[in-house]
Chains A and B, each alone.
Chain A
Amino acid sequence: MWVRFAALQIARVLLITLIAGLLGAALVRFSPGFDVDERDLDTRLSSASHAADAEARAGERNLLSFYGQWLLCALHGDYGNSRAMNRPVGELIRERLPLTARTMAVGGAIGLLAGFLGAAAAVWKRSRLMENILGPGNGLLLAAPPAVVALLFLWLNIDPALAIAAAVSPYVFRYAHNLLRESASSAHVVTARARGLGEGRIFLAHVFVPALPQLAALGGIVASVAFGAAIPVEVICDRPGIGQLAWQAAVARDMPVLVAITMLVTALILVVNAAAEIALAGVSTEAA
């Protein structure tokens, strides 16, 4: 049963990633200037050369065949050439991925920890004061655009990864707080409290552990929010990562780069989500 569920999840990830690629390819195909080549403007070429170029590009006009060709090349590690940077897209991504991965990992981990600890403290202590401080504080963080936070951190010489943490933590806090509070108000927790168990033990054994599988779903939220925040953070702090590359590609309308990043990001987030769901299903099967 669990294996079937895992296989279905993997198939779903593959299918949605392929659809994301198809949508990306559709954007490339229908973007303005798709059918224009700078060789068309070269007056040294004869009309026969121009006609040969046009014929060579004609095959790309059909969206499905264009996507099929692109996918075939992508499977061989060739994601095409960046129009703006005149370099292979794969090379650009390989060069910039480590920096973004590091920033996202550090920022995501700090944001996850801060959001979770805040939510745990609010639920564990059951203090009105703490809820009244953490709740509005979280609301203010949610209202601050990551680009503005990145600017402030740049002025204050604070590591840009913390700007990503500031973007991630309010989402984690809200999700974890709702989940832990729901878990804390369940009947078995009320019974445990009535039997005189200590608050620490109640929180760890009866609130946190039962909510743990659902907390795994935070992985997808963290990955998505962290990458979304990485774009303005890398642009503003001038860090040569994937976020900055995505922005440069958007400004220069460099669609091959955008398609490759779309597929990469979709696959990353779907894999994290699927891993959480498979783990959740595994725990449920074991419990049953």
Chain B
Amino acid sequence: MTAALQRAAAGILILLALAAVGSLWFPVSASAQSRNAIDAAPSMRYPLGTDELGRDRLARVLCGLRLSFLLAPAAACLSTALAALIGGIAGWYGGAIERIAMAAADLFVSLPWLFLLITVRAVLPLNVSPLVSIGVTFLLLGMLGWAAPARVARARVRAIAGSDYFLQARAAGTGGVRLFLRHLLPNLGPILAAQFWICVPVYIISEANLGLLGLGVADPLVSLGGMVRELSSESSLMTRPWILAPAGVLVMATACVHFARLKKEEV
């Protein structure tokens, strides 16, 4: 079951990624307005209908997906790099440096993630250009998400530094840089890769939460979070169920990333 689930999730992810990339050649732009089709129901021309400004919802979902698939991994890369740096230094040097780094990590981990995000977001300007708002949103995600992976990285560095082969390499007179590049970094890779894949769905969800709260990517740029915000003006689920499509795609994409990275024993 786990293997089948993983394969299905990976397959859906590939399809979503292809659709997101393929939408670059989509005949309808995500920002093009059709004044004759405001709030239109699904049709052959608009498979997911249009929004209150007459924009094609399918084109916008694919555009939002492209943004999430591009920037969530970029933010996860930043978090993982910061985690490797901070966790690595803490584990390598130990002592006071380790205690300070881990106290900072404790603080970041103990604060609820969304609260931390909105607090730091509040300090930054809210009335910025859409492109800057994308940068600010995902840069914040990347810069604030280092704590949990850093704890894992630090534990791994400590374990490697105490291992027999590492001690032997040191006893043989291997220098610090060579120790780091040849013996530490390659063994840290799998742990960091796992942390990267854990961060990606978390960042996609966080962007959605921020978008729904009005603190995410600004209009007219499209993000899945910003599209989900459209739901908050609806009073009923039954009148226009197709507007749930962006939320459905968001949950499906996030769940697929989650399932695709699962190990056999983890489901």
* Alpha-carbon gap, A143 to B250, bound state (A): 8
Interface of B is mostly: helix
Which one, B1, B107, B213, B232, contacts A19 given CB within 8 A?
A: B107
Q: Of the candidates A20, A128, A227, which one forms a contact with B107 in the assembled complex, judged by CB atoms under 8 Å apart?
A: A20
**Which one of A27, A131, A156 contacts B120 once the chains associate, using CB atoms below 8 Å?**
A27
**Are A258 and B119 interface neighbours, CB within 8 A?**
yes
Given the known interface contacts A224-B112, A227-B112, the answer about A140 and B213 at a Cβ–Cβ threshold of 8 Å is no
Which residues on the A side are within 8 Å of B118 (C-beta)?
A: 231, 246-247, 250
Q: Is B232's CB under 8 angstroms from A151's CB?
A: yes
Digitize A138-153: 1 where CB-to-B-CB distance is under 8 Å, 0 elsewhere. 0110111111100110
- Chain A residue with minimal CB distance to B124? A32
The interface stretch among B18-26, B181-189, B254-262 is B254-262
State whether A247 and B212 are in contact (beta carbons under 8 Å apart), knowing that A145-B228, A151-B232 are contacts in the complex.
no
* Contact A147 B1, beta carbon cutoff 8 Å: no
In the complex, the chain A residue whose C-beta lies closest to that of B238 is A155
A146 to B258: give the CA distance in the assembly, Å: 16
Q: Which of B113, B119, B208, B214 contacts A262 (CB 8 A)?
A: B119
State whether B122 touches A249 (Cβ < 8 A).
Answer: yes
A148 touches B258 (CB 8 A): no
CB distance from B194 to the nearest CB of A (A): 15
Asked if B208 and A27 sit within 8 Å, CB to CB, the answer is: no
Say yes or no: A152 contacts B213, CB within 8 Å: no
A225 touches B (CB below 8 Å): yes
Residue pair A151, B231 in contact (C-beta under 8 Å): yes
Q: A136-B259, A228-B113, A231-B114 are in contact. Are A148 and B251 (CB under 8 A)?
A: yes
Task: Answer whether residue B34 sits at the interface, using C-beta atoms and an 8 A cutoff.
Answer: no
* A284 within 8 A of partner (CB): no
Inter-chain contact B212/A140, CB cutoff 8 Å: no
- Residue A255 CB within 8 A of the other chain: yes
Is the C-beta of A90 less than 8 angstroms from some C-beta in chain B?
Answer: no
Residue of A nearest to B125 (CB): A32
Question: A31 near B123 (CB under 8 angstroms)?
Answer: yes
A257: min CB distance to chain B, Å = 10
Interchain CB contact under 8 A, A228 and B115:
yes
- A139 to B237, Cβ gap below 8 A? no
A115 within 8 A of B: no
Contact with A along B203-214 (1 / 0, CB 8 A): 001001100111
Known: A27-B120, A148-B231. A250 touches B215 (CB 8 A): yes
B43 within 8 A of A: no
Is the CB of A207 closer than 8 A to any CB of chain B? Answer: no
Task: List A residues 5-28 near B (Cβ within 8 Å).
Answer: 12, 15-16, 19-20, 23-24, 27
A155 touching B251 in the complex, CB below 8 Å, given contacts A250-B215, A251-B215, A269-B110: no
Chain A residues, CB < 8 A from B114: 146, 228-229, 231-232
Rounded to whole Å, the gap between the CB of A222 and the closest CB of chain B is 11
Query: In the complex, how many angstroms separate the beta carbon of B202 from the nearest chain A beta carbon?
Result: 9
Among A12, A128, A266, chain B packs the most CB atoms within 10 A around the CB of A266
A-B contact pairs, 9 of them (CB 8 A): A16-B107, A139-B255, A140-B255, A155-B234, A155-B237, A232-B209, A235-B213, A246-B115, A251-B215
Binding site for B on A (CB under 8 A): 12, 15-16, 19-20, 23-24, 27, 30-32, 128, 131-132, 135-136, 139-140, 142-148, 151-152, 155-156, 220, 224-225, 227-229, 231-232, 235-236, 246-247, 249-251, 253-255, 258, 261-262, 265-266, 269-270, 273
**Which 10 A-B residue pairs are closest in the complex by CB-CB distance?**
A135-B267, A228-B112, A143-B255, A143-B254, A250-B122, A147-B212, A250-B118, A155-B237, A145-B208, A132-B1
- Which residues of B does A touch, CB under 8 Å? 1-2, 5, 103-104, 106-107, 110-115, 118-123, 125-126, 201, 205, 208-209, 212-215, 228, 231-232, 234-237, 247, 250-252, 254-255, 258-259, 262, 267
